Amino acid sequence: MANFNLRFATIMRNTLVAMIVAVAMVSCANSARKVDVLIIGGGASGVAAGVQSARMGVDALIVEPTTWLGGMLTSAGVSAVDGNYRMPAGIFGEFRSKLEDYYGGADSLKTGWVSNVLFEPSVGNKMFHALAEAEPNLMVEYEAKPVDVEHDEDGRWHVKFERKDGKTFNVVADILIDGTELGDIAALVGVGYDLGMESRAVTGEDIAPDSARNIIQDITMVAILKDYGHDVTMAEPDGYDPSEFACTCETGLCPDPDDRSHNYSPEYMMRYGKLPNGKYMINWPFAGNDIYINLVEMSPEEREEALEEAKAKTLRYVYFLQKQLGFNNLGLADDEFPTEDLLPLMPYHRESRRIHGLARFTLNHITTPYDTPDPLYRTAIAVGDYPVDQHHLAYNGLDTLPKLSVHPIPSYGLPMGVVIPEDVDNMLVTEKSVSVSNIANGSTRLQPVVTQIGQAAGAIAALAVSNGVKPSEVNVRDVQRAILDGGGYLLPFLDVDKHDKRFKPYQRIGASGILRGEGRNVGWSNQTWLRADDSLMPGDVLDLIDFYGLNVSGEFSDMSTPLTYADAMAFIAAAAKSDVDGNKILSDYGIAPRDFNDTITRGEYALIVDAVLNPFDARDVDIKGNFVDKN
């Protein structure tokens, strides 16, 4: 009897323990925060993704490891915007407008010669906080890092985070967005990726190297200097040798008489990154504070150790500026970064893992968008216009690399498929980790582009949640509509600004392929024009003819004569299978009526085609840009 009682007690105890464990597991699952969209990383892309998805009515959460938002624009100290000055697209444009309001107008941001938009990193951080805080559907958790990421059989994501104080919290989300600087989450969950330079045989890019190279671009630990008005020369750093920076500008120390540094006086060099309020951004590539460290696949501990050398080099360079060049009134700003060493919260990463996405964007899609096998321009969700600019001057094997410093290109539209991994569902990837070639990354890595990438990811995520589908199943045109409604660009046409009534029709016609833009490189300016004011030529309507399968054989005996209003209306009427009053449509845009024999411009034609035929909605496109039948 005693043995029976003992066995019974043991069974009951074990049963009770099992029940307690089961209840605890259920309680833990139930205590997890449930959101529609989880963004890990509050950089430029991460904030834009959170803001956009929240604006589209879903619950979004950003988890950021620091107390700052904005990533490379703020936390890394690169507070000088490169590119897109004439295309203030979407949330990037809102951020820029906030800066203009804060400093007193656009001209107040033109303090240095490297950019037309320069600002203090701490001010940029405030602007990103303001963007996030304005959205009731968006929450932000600071000073927390992911320690475990799992994907369940129903497609939901379960992520465990650890706070700075060691406490943890759990999040369950339908869609996960990697907004990290180096694509760490994508790599963690098994997304395929490339790192380094691909060969010409792989990408088909003429300027790619003959063979792959396992190197990335130089990184920089930026410094923000402040004019203190008196001598603030620091103590000489360990390992200081002025010859390390002898060719940074016209120092009188550079042994090479042909070195590019002789083009810059010390004063002119310092004005490169001059910021408002007597501050200076130190991010100088010529024997400056760029450094070659490939830390992408290092552990967090290895990265932290490796970055000590980047910090040390920047401090040596600051001392050189003070001691050798006489800028001893400039010292590390004590009112910028919340760090003990007054350096940025993170380095400036120019390159990351690049995922294997549903579409891969290369230099050929930039230079010849209409002549590639996949017409990816039809799926565009962001625009860029900065040259292909790769920093490799700190790499010892420079002579073996292609010359990719400020390589001229036309402006371009970036396709939707670059943010969607091909091998992991319900995930999107942003920042510099999108599916582009190494060379294309030399332009797509810039701040205005990555902010738009984030906005597009937010739109895709919100549509996936709202429609109960995977991101790969979201309709391309629905995303593009959301981008246009959010003040963004699909294609980089400069004919009218985004507040003009003609802007959206021009964008839709361009993304439909009914009219093709013309890319141009004008000095430092990379451009694309719809050529809206040019006369409509016979060759301009070939895509409309193809789109609608019109039979017009023999119509074009003279390809050099501009088409008349009557000619254009005849083509449009044939496609619409009804009479067309184009003048009524033009009057809605304040355009005077055209006689039948008047020539018609490409822009007028675009407005009428958009209103009458609505080709943007008439035929859907797949993720590669190919036309598909409407569901």
Q: Are 618 and 544 in contact (CB under 8 A)?
A: no
For residues 360 and 460, state if they share a domain. Answer: yes
Could you give the angle at the alpha carbon of 413 between the alpha carbons of 124 and 407, nearest 5°?
80
* Terminal Cα-to-Cα distance of the chain (whole angstroms): 74
Cβ pair 625, 612 in contact under 8 A? no
Asked if residue 292 is part of any domain, the answer here is: yes
- Alpha carbon distance 217, 221 (integer Å): 13
pLDDT < 50 stretches in the chain: 1-4, 6-12, 15-29
Cα 45 from Cα 56, distance rounded (Å)? 17
Distance CA 584, CA 603 (A): 15
- Whether 195 and 317 map to the same domain: the answer is no
CA angle, 604 then 609 then 610, to 5° = 100
pLDDT the model gives residue 30: 58
Q: Are residues 543 and 559 in the same domain?
A: yes
Contact yes or no for 566/536 (Cβ under 8 A): no
Between CA 273 and CA 379 the distance in angstroms is 36
CA separation for the pair 608, 589 (Å, rounded): 10
What amino acid is encoded at 597 in this protein? N
Name the amino acid, one letter, at 393.
Answer: L
Whether 304 is covered by a domain: the verdict is yes
Q: Tell me the longest C-alpha to C-alpha distance in the chain.
A: 112
CA angle, corner 566, sides to 564 and 568, nearest 5?
A: 70
Q: Is residue 100 part of a domain?
A: no
Whole-number Cα distances in Å, 86 to 99, 459, 483, 598: 16, 23, 17, 32
Pairing of strands 274-275, 168-178: unpaired
**Sheet order of strands, 279-282 included:** 274-275, 279-282, 223-227, 330-332
Q: How far apart are CA 63 and CA 350, in angstroms?
A: 22
Residue pair 345/125 in contact by the 8 Å Cβ criterion: no
Tokens of 62: 């950003």
Same domain, 483 and 391: yes
In a domain, 243, yes or no: yes
- Same domain as 203, residue 181: yes
Whether residues 16 and 42 share a domain: the answer is no
Task: Specify the pLDDT at position 4.
Answer: 42
- Give the per-residue pLDDT at 367: 96
pLDDT at 329: 98
CATH number, position 70: 3.50.50.60
d(CA 114, CA 125): 21
Same domain, 68 and 159: yes
pLDDT of the residue at 462: 99
Distance CA 413, CA 317 (A): 38
- pLDDT given for residue 2 in this prediction: 46
Strand 168-178 and strand 33-40: the pairing is: parallel
49 inside domain: yes
Q: Look up residue 122 and give its two tokens.
A: 């701490």
Instruction: Tally the domains of the chain.
Output: 4
pLDDT by residue (tens digit) across 118-155? 999 999 999 999 999 999 999 999 999 999 999 999 99
Write b or e for each residue in 117-127: b if 16 or more Cβ atoms lie within 10 A of its Cβ, otherwise e: bbbbbbbbbbb
Q: How far is the C-alpha of 102 from the C-alpha of 126, rounded, in Å?
A: 10
Are residues 198 and 230 both part of a single domain? no
Spatial contact of 526 and 419, defined as CB atoms under 8 Å apart: no
**What range does the domain containing 240 cover?**
219-332
Say if 284 falls within a structural domain: yes
Which of 332, 366, 395 is a domain's end point?
332
Domain stops at, among 492, 524, 548: 492
Identity of residue 141: E
CB neighbourhood size of 348 (10 A) = 23
Is there a single domain that holds both residue 26 and residue 38? no
**Digit-coded pLDDT (tens) for 489-516:** 999 999 999 999 999 999 999 999 999 9
Q: How many whole angstroms separate alpha carbon 623 and alpha carbon 548?
A: 21
pLDDT at residue 258, rounded to an integer: 86
Residues 184 and 124 reside in one and the same domain: yes
In the 8-state DSSP scheme, what is residue 73? G
CA nearest neighbour of 42 among 24, 25, 65: 65
Among 332, 347, 365, the domain-final residue is 332
* Helical spans, DSSP H, in 324-404: 363-367
Whether residue 208 sits in one domain with residue 224: no
Q: How far apart are CA 142 and CA 150, in angstroms?
A: 21
Q: Token pair for residue 578?
A: 């009804």
In a domain, 86, yes or no: no
Indicate whether 228 and 202 sit together in one domain: no
Is 155 a member of any domain?
A: yes
Dist. CA 619–CA 631, nearest whole Å: 10
Q: Which residue has the tokens 């040596």?
A: 316
